Structure 1
Amino acid sequence: MTLPPPGDIAIVVAGALAAGFVNGLSGTGYALVALGFWLQAMSPLTAAPLTALCGVAGHIQSLPRIWSGVRWQRLWPMLVAGIAGVPLGTLLLDHVKPNPLKMGVGLLLIVYSGWMAFVRRPPIVTGGGRPADAVVGLIGGVMGGMASLSGPAPAIWAQLRGFGKDEQRGVNQPFNMSVLFLALISAGIAGFLDRTFLIWAAITVPTTLIGAKIGLALYGRINDVQFRRVLLALLMLSGLTLVATSLI
């Protein structure tokens, strides 16, 4: 078995550690961090399913810690709609130009996170019930199928619902884990899980779990306000990254 060059391994390990830490701390943002490193060392066809695999592994590791925040009666409408939205988003790929999509979503995230960072009393949405939750889940699933952007919609919605940090992760993590798992299965069916993928998986999964464990330990030390700030910073970074990549 031929290993990748040492320089590439170092870049990928650094990305897995950083992304695992962010995912363990916030419950989201794995692909955003990892791809910034990994695309320097591997093709997108390998990097995309690899982020899905490592993201799922990190979510599974941290599920016992945030399980108390899972409320199935509020989660299942989002989850069912999100899973249904993934193949729909994949079908829409041929009809939507990626750069305008990235630009629009990026600007939305920048405006939202900037506004929420300065308001004293964040708005809380109490109406809509399960149908509104399902619409948000569908949006997240479609965006996940189109551009691997399943995270922002449920993250924003959980904040607007006024959930605490455990409740936010109780929505975000099972949702993102399910969408990523579905994306991984799709990649396997498409034949992308080749020998190169397996070599990188053997390197990145353990490294991701180490980073996620450190992030999860820090998560236990922050309060709801600090968690909100962390999540808003990630949403802002995600928006800036999307806008920047849409201009290339």
Structure 2
Amino acid sequence: MLQDTFNLMPLWAFVAACGVTLVAGFVKGAIGFAMPLVMISGLSIFLDPLVAVAGIVLPIVMSNLLQVMRFSWAEARAALREFWRYIAVICVMILIAAQFVTMIPTQTFYLVLGVPVVILSLIQLVGVRFHISPAWRRPSEWIVGLISGTIGGLTGTWGPPTVLYLIALDTPKAKQMLVQGVVYGLGSVTLFLGHLQSGVLNGVTAPWSAALLIPAFLGMRLGFWMSDRMNPVLFRRATLVVLVVAGVNLVRRGLMG
């Protein structure tokens, strides 16, 4: 079984994957999201999409646990109580959508991931701001949660819709980081369970995903350190530019093969 894991990719690809994961962890630690986006966008350049999806599962569980641990249990519980409907919809849709990921053709997979990455990143990059009034709070939880969970189950990333949703609610920065950690943390556990069921995460791919925990952890620690020292607005814009470029490349591969 372990020999099969070694045969998933050549050594150079594994080293490159560790580099991509280190960068993804750094971005996650610095701005609180985008780890799955960076990993999938980067890993899919030289790995099979399903191998890439399997690789991100354990690192995102660990990274979100680290993010939540920066806050107190009382704060995390309050965030869970306030956003439980949104979290519940995401988790249910992740479980459902994850079962279809092995049925999606490779080029379609690239488009399913690339198009939302480009659109959502451009929305944030150009500074478009939405506002959700209290009267629309509950309907928006169901609608955005449905979209986020479906994308998350198919591609392993549901960060951008969540970020846009929290911004539209005028969520303060510190609380936004906390809520992101809670939403992503519970969602990543659901993704883990979903891909155990789908077969994407198995005895061959699980050790590969576990190996990426080390660069992910190191990247997170560097990101936490940098987040207190770098202009977050400038860094987020640079990150979004990278995501747009990566997303356009995925769309290109989906359209042209």
TM-score of the aligned structures, taking structure 1 as reference length? 0.79
Cα offset for 1:146?
A: 3.0
**Contact 2:91/2:190 (<8 A) preserved:** yes
Q: Secondary structure at the match of 2:29?
A: helix
Q: How many Å apart are 1:144 and its aligned residue? A: 1.3
Distance in 1 between the 2:173 and 2:56 partners?
Answer: 24
Aligned Cα root-mean-square deviation (Å) = 3.3
Quick check: 2:42–2:246 contact (8 Å CA) kept in 1? no
| Percent of paired sites with the same residue | 21
Deviations 1:20-48 (A, max 9, x none): 11111122222222234434665433321
Distance change >3 Å, CA 242–CA 78, structure 1 → 2: farther
Tell me the equivalent position of 1:126. Answer: 133
Residue number in structure 1 paired with 2:68: 63
Which segments of 5 or more consecutive residues in structure 2 lack a partner in the other structure? Answer: none
Q: Who is 2:124 aligned against?
A: 113
- Check the 8 A contact 1:12/1:38 in 2, yes or no: yes
Letter in 1 for 2:227: Y
- Contact preservation (8 Å) 2:57, 2:156: no
CA separation in 2, counterparts of 1:95 and 1:42? 16
Matched, 1:81 2:89: yes
- Residue in structure 2 matched with residue 247 of structure 1 by the alignment: 255
1:20-169 equivalences under 5 Å are 20-39=25-44, 42-66=47-71, 68=75, 71-90=79-98, 98=109, 101-102=112-113, 104-106=115-117, 108-116=119-127, 122-127=129-134, 128-169=136-177
- The secondary structure found in structure 1 opposite 2:13 is helix
Q: Deviations over 1:162-186 (max 9, x none)?
A: 2232222222222222222222212
The alpha carbon displacement at 1:205 in A equals 0.7
Q: 1:73 to 1:48 in 2, by over 3 A?
A: same
In the superposition, relative to structure 1, how do residues 175 and 111 fare at CA in structure 2: closer, same or farther (>3 Å)? same
Deviation at 1:204, TM superposition (A): 1.1
Which residue number corresponds to residue 194 of structure 2?
Answer: 186
TM-score by length of 2: 0.77
Aligned residues: 244
- C-alpha contact 1:113 1:233 (8 A) present in aligned 2: no
Moved more, 62-71 or 126-135: 62-71
Equivalent residue number for residue 16 of structure 1: 21
* Large movers: runs of 4+ above 6 Å: 91-96
Deviation at 1:208, TM superposition (A): 0.9
